[in-house]
Amino acid sequence: MAKKIETARLILRPWDEKDLERLVLSLNDFDLAKWMAFIPHPYLISDAHDWITRCGEITKKGPRPTAYEFAVELKSNGLLIGGVSLNKINWETQTGGGGIWITRNHQGFGYGTEAFQAKIAFAFRDLGLKRLINGYFKGNDRSWAMQRKLGYRRAGEVAARCMADGRQTIEHVTELLSSNWEHHRGQKR
């Protein structure tokens, strides 16, 4: 189902063919891809095309899809600056996963936190999910800082592989319960 979310500075919207070029420019960056599990390097136009096609198919899957994939756009000028996903949705167990990236020259301005927060609110409030499972590769302090700030806790470690360079690494698994999130938000008000 196509879904659009607006935050103070961002619009989270479905991926579109018009994003091809900018997507390649953003993700063909090893310093970004090294923190992601499934981004090949180099990242080619065919990779971007496959991704956008796949996302288009997901949105046609009716009212209970297994994923929502959002392009993150700046409200001020329409520039694509990232992607955020809510995936692996299991409607029975009310759980979901997902990831995020923000293009490198837009990192550190709070956009990642803003987009991830919007995805969490959508998952818990609109979809009624109860638990989100995420993670981050060993050494990705910025991702952990963002997740921790939003209430995530570390839940374990698993062996993982990064597609960009094929290295074996450790993924810290993180989770956020909807009850903890409401509590966490309450404390910050």
| Binding residues vs ligand COA (CB under 6 A) | 32, 35-36, 99-102, 107-113, 136, 140-143, 145-146, 149
Q: Using the minimum distance from each CB to ligand COA, give the nearer residue, 96 or 99.
A: 99
Q: Using the minimum distance from each CB to ligand COA, give the nearer residue, 129 or 164.
A: 164
Contacts of 51 (CB under 8 A, 6+ apart): 15, 23
Whether residue 137 contacts residue 35, with contact meaning beta carbons closer than 8 Å, is answered with yes
Alpha helices in 34-160 (DSSP H): 45-59, 111-121, 141-149
- CB burial of residue 21 (10 Å; 0-12, 13-18, 19+): exposed
d(CA 148, CA 167): 25
Shortest gap between Cβ of 87 and ligand COA (angstroms)? 13
Shortest gap between Cβ of 62 and ligand COA (angstroms)? 29
Q: Using the minimum distance from each CB to ligand COA, give the nearer residue, 108 or 156.
A: 108
User: What does each C-alpha distance from 86 to 3, 55, 58, 125, 187 come to in angstroms?
Assistant: 12, 12, 12, 13, 25
| Number of residue whose CB is nearest ligand COA | 112
Q: Using the minimum distance from each CB to ligand COA, give the nearer residue, 65 or 97.
A: 97
Shortest gap between Cβ of 26 and ligand COA (angstroms)? 9
Shortest gap between Cβ of 133 and ligand COA (angstroms)? 12
